[in-house]
Amino acid sequence: MTTTPVERPPDQSLDDFSAVFDAYFSEIHRYVVQRLGPGPAEDVVAEAFLTAFRKRARYDPAKAGVRTWLYGIVTNLIHKHRRTEVRALRAVDRHGPPADAPSHEERVAAQVSAESLRPALAEAIARLGRGERDVLLLTALAGLSHEEIAAALGISYGTVGSRLSRARAKIRAALGGANPMEANHG
């Protein structure tokens, strides 16, 4: 299998890591912003490049190009971040919102539901499968279209629709039929 110039520029190797960073940072950052939003993206992308730098001696160009390798690293970090997010959403459900400053999870819940539905909604979102949660949050928070979500997640347009439909049905069921997008509590 040969790689294309986009995959691995001919004169680029991991020996000049600053060139790797310059070549791929913007693209990787855009991807993570699409998946997690701008706040967590900074930390996740920084951790991805730090991980790549630390593991550069183990990089095998026969297995994947640099770009693909970086996407693999960042995807694993996104999933790690999401596991942390699910734990935090469940904590919000158990303990209610912290009294001091709003957390990321509170901002997510506030954008998706009315204040009175927050704990139940947080738990319902946390209980969704990863694929359903990804599609729901990309729709509700990022405002991405089905086509954009399909491209970002590498799934078909139909899969986006079915995951979104299942996620909405599960959320409504968990909220006793309430629609958090129609709730009007101040």
Q: Is residue 2 part of a domain?
A: no
| Total domains present in the chain | 1
Q: Is residue 140 part of a domain?
A: yes
The pLDDT confidence band at residue 169, using thresholds 50, 70 and 90, is: very high
What pLDDT sits at residue 157?
92
Q: Is residue 121 part of a domain?
A: yes
Q: Is residue 153 part of a domain?
A: yes
The pLDDT confidence band at residue 37, using thresholds 50, 70 and 90, is: confident
Q: Is residue 136 part of a domain?
A: yes
With helix as H, strand as E and coil as C, how does the chain read?
Answer: CCCCCCCCCCCCCCCCHHHHHHHHHHHHHHHHHHHHCHHHHHHHHHHHHHHHHHCHHHCCCCCCCHHHHHHHHHHHHHHHHHHHHHHHHHHHHHHCCCCCCCCHHHHHHHHHCCHHHHHHHHHHHHHCCHHHHHHHHHHHCCCCCHHHHHHHHCCCHHHHHHHHHHHHHHHHHHCCCCCCCCCCCC
Range of the domain at 102: 10-176
Q: Is residue 5 part of a domain?
A: no
Is the whole model's pTM more than 0.75, yes or no? no
Quote the mean pLDDT of the chain. 75
Q: Is residue 1 part of a domain?
A: no
We report the CATH number of the domain holding residue 167 as: 1.20.140.160
| 78-129 confidence digits (pLDDT tens) | 888 878 777 777 776 676 655 555 666 666 655 544 455 567 777 888 889 8
